[in-house]
Chains A and B, each alone.
Chain A
């Protein structure tokens, strides 16, 4: 999926990651985020990507990449192998978002997750007024050809984290480019953020 404000998103993600961290980008696309993080934060990066042409692109850029599926192949990694895992605009396309989330916080100390927020006011009003599945910049596919299996709103995501024993540490506001401490579930959060971008970790028992 193409990222509209790619560089802006990248910057916010880079701000969340300390220098020299080990990072896996799940659904790493052509590897440009990993390249960006290498340059900005000198990370030790790995990618996973389901689309072989993009895997080839990563290889040609010198990025270590596994051709794999987030739903199936995260199980192959041991606990806490990475400092950070990243899943941008992919959660809604997985078969089992809950398992994928749980795996991400298992294989890394912290996970950065972003997804298109189906609860954004523009989407919500579009659905309400047109009675058709919304198409926007962030949700650019028609309903019958979308790879997205599980749309969710920011509030849905917050609920899922709670259910899966995952703590939300920070949330980014992509409008203001700011990282906020997470204040919790509220109507405005889900209403005004086009994208949900969260820093999460596993709640230790």
Chain B
């Protein structure tokens, strides 16, 4: 029962978005693994990152690669699918089946494009809440995710505290720094600078803004890696050649690698979705509905929480994650924190990192035993 499912939500009452517009009868595509038990206390919600999707532990229909968190999710893994009922939805605004810019607007019968309303992380969580309600889960045993997924986790803890028994926000932040926004703006500008983007109207065209999206991915990919990892993996090594070409071809391995990352990404991702989701991340500030007070934002949080950061992550560094820990500590919340030493950079949460595996397994297992 891990095939992709699509459900229509907010069929009776529209979902009101932060921007003031609303979505009625929107679709959420999601996967589930394992079974909800009779006590309904074994549900784990996994929130994906910017370019992630619902294929958390099953092969991706486009890339055919195994799920993005297969290392963590599966039988006998930290998120044990023999034991837990695992839910992973594609966020709204996404492009893997949930309502987003490339889907049809049911009111007009046309593709949304940039008519799709600007959404926020809070909107994504409100949409996820409707899915959780639909699945009959009243209290989620654990909500987890890295990067943007971590923001969704924080939003859950802030807005639906009574529904979350435990949570693992990984490599994330309570809001986007100027540096984070700058990098996302670079990505958006590269998409919009592609003439094929055509103000977001490209769905009926043979020419899609693949170059712009590809460059956006290349820029982002650099920010996911650490300098040390890039150096040890590629150094200044040349790609299939013994000397410089004195041209603008990909002389260096790192160039070739980045181009490959860009080219393959466009097969599975929609340029407009990239604009919408990065915007949601930039707008994110979990304290915005409480006049900037993090203490107010989490004052009703009662969950048991494990925060995880990575030493070489410069996008969502340990200092940002510790800020979250400090807020939880101040409120006397049951919080744990671990900083994993690795040169894997921000992407570490997606890599086969044994210390991440061990921490998640230890926390989830003991928390479930003491439920």
Q: Which residues of A contact B (CB under 8 A)?
A: 22, 46, 52, 55-68, 76-78, 81
Contact = CB atoms under 8 A, between A and B. Distances in A.
Contacts of B329: 66, 76-78, 81
Contacts of A81: 329-330, 332
A63 B363 CA distance: 9
Contacts of B332: 22, 81
Contacts of A76: 322, 325-326, 329
A124 to B, nearest CB: 41
A61 B336 CA distance: 12
Contacts of A60: 358, 361-363, 365-366
Contact of B359 (A59, A61, A62): A59
Interface of B: 304, 306, 322, 325-326, 329-330, 332, 334-341, 355, 358-359, 361-363, 365-367, 369-370
Nearest to B370: A62
B330 A61 contact: no
B304 A56 contact: no
Contacts of A63: 336
8 contacts: A52-B355, A56-B362, A58-B336, A62-B367, A62-B370, A65-B336, A66-B336, A66-B337
A59 B335 contact: no
Which of B306, B341, B358: most chain A Cβ within 10 A? B358
DSSP majority for the A interface?
mixed
A22 B334 CA distance: 11
Given A22-B332, A60-B365, A77-B329, A52 B338 contact: yes
B24 to A, nearest CB: 42
10 shortest interchain CB distances as A-B pairs:
A60-B362, A62-B366, A59-B362, A76-B326, A66-B337, A64-B334, A59-B363, A67-B338, A64-B336, A78-B330
Contacts of A78: 329-330
A58 B358 CA distance: 11
Contacts of A55: 336, 338
Contact of B366 (A22, A61, A77): A61
B338 A56 contact: yes
Given A56-B359, A60-B358, A76-B322, 19 more contacts: A52-B338, A52-B339, A52-B341, A56-B355, A56-B358, A57-B362, A58-B336, A59-B336, A60-B366, A62-B366, A62-B370, A64-B304, A66-B325, A66-B336, A76-B325, A76-B329, A77-B329, A78-B330, A81-B330
Contacts of A67: 337-339
A65 B329 CA distance: 11
Nearest to B364: A59
A54 B162 CA distance: 31
A26 B92 CA distance: 43
A51 to B, nearest CB: 11
Nearest to B362: A60
A77 B358 CA distance: 27
Which of B335, B362, B367, B369: most chain A Cβ within 10 A? B362
Given A76-B326, A81-B329, A59 B337 contact: no
Contacts of B358: 56, 60
Nearest to A75: B326
A22 B325 CA distance: 18
Contacts of A52: 338-341, 355
A59 B337 CA distance: 9
Contacts of B339: 52, 67
B132 to A, nearest CB: 25
A67 B355 CA distance: 13
A110 B76 CA distance: 43
A184 to B, nearest CB: 36
Nearest to B368: A62
A172 B240 CA distance: 72
Contact of B369 (A46, A59, A62): A62
Nearest to A66: B337
Contact of B335 (A56, A61, A64): A64
Contacts of B369: 62
Nearest to A76: B326
A157 B369 CA distance: 42
Contacts of A64: 304, 334-336
B338 to A, nearest CB: 5
Contacts of B330: 77-78, 81
A37 to B, nearest CB: 16
Contacts of A77: 329-330
A32 to B, nearest CB: 15
Nearest to B295: A78
Nearest to B308: A67
B337 A68 contact: yes
A59 B325 contact: no
